[in-house]
């Protein structure tokens, strides 16, 4: 299992409450339709906990996936992802992403 983290910044003039409502009503529902996504959560960044962190972003999306290639394919070809990408771009601009693999005990 891998985890993809997306870092996003609200576009100028976007109401955070409107974006978060879209996440709850649309984004989460559509993500559930994509088989290679095991779990998906969006987190609002409140600020540093102890130390300054690099980057300028307002939200982090954490996507647990079954397979890197299947997720890349879904990003390009899944109808639900077409809707997500088409709508999310009205709210945020991506500022970066990383793929991670858990170090198991």
Are the C-beta atoms of residues 37 and 71 closer than 8 Å to each other? yes
Mean pLDDT of the chain: 93
Tokens of 81: 């992802």
Please give the class, per CATH, of domain 2-101: alpha beta
CA angle (29 as vertex; 34, 46 as ends), nearest 5: 105
Question: What are the extents of the domains in the chain?
Answer: 2-101
Instruction: Inform me whether the pLDDT recorded for 41 exceeds 80.
Output: yes
Q: What is the pLDDT, as a whole number, of residue 55?
A: 79
Bridge partner residues of 62 (DSSP): 5, 41
Q: N- to C-terminal Cα distance for the chain? A: 14
Instruction: Inform me whether the pLDDT recorded for 54 exceeds 80.
Output: no
Percent of the chain, pLDDT > 90?
Answer: 80
pTM: 0.90
| Stretch 55-75: mean pLDDT | 94
Q: What is the pLDDT, as a whole number, of residue 45?
A: 94
Q: What is the pLDDT, as a whole number, of residue 17?
A: 98
Burial tier of 56 (Cβ tally within 10 Å: 0-12, 13-18, 19+)? exposed
Instruction: Inform me whether the pLDDT recorded for 36 exceeds 80.
Output: yes
């Amino acid at each position: 299992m891998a985890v993809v983290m997306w870092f996003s910044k609200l576009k100028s003039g976007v109401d955070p409450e409107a974006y978060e409502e879209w996440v709850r009503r649309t984004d989460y529902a559509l993500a559930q339709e994509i088989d290679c996504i095991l779990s998906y959560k969006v987190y609002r960044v409140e600020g540093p906990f102890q130390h300054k962190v690099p980057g300028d972003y307002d939200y982090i999306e954490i996507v647990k996936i079954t397979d890197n290639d299947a997720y890349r394919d879904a990003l390009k070809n899944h109808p639900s992802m077409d809707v997500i990408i088409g709508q999310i771009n009205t709210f945020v601009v991506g500022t970066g992403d990383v793929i991670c693999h858990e170090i198991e005990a």
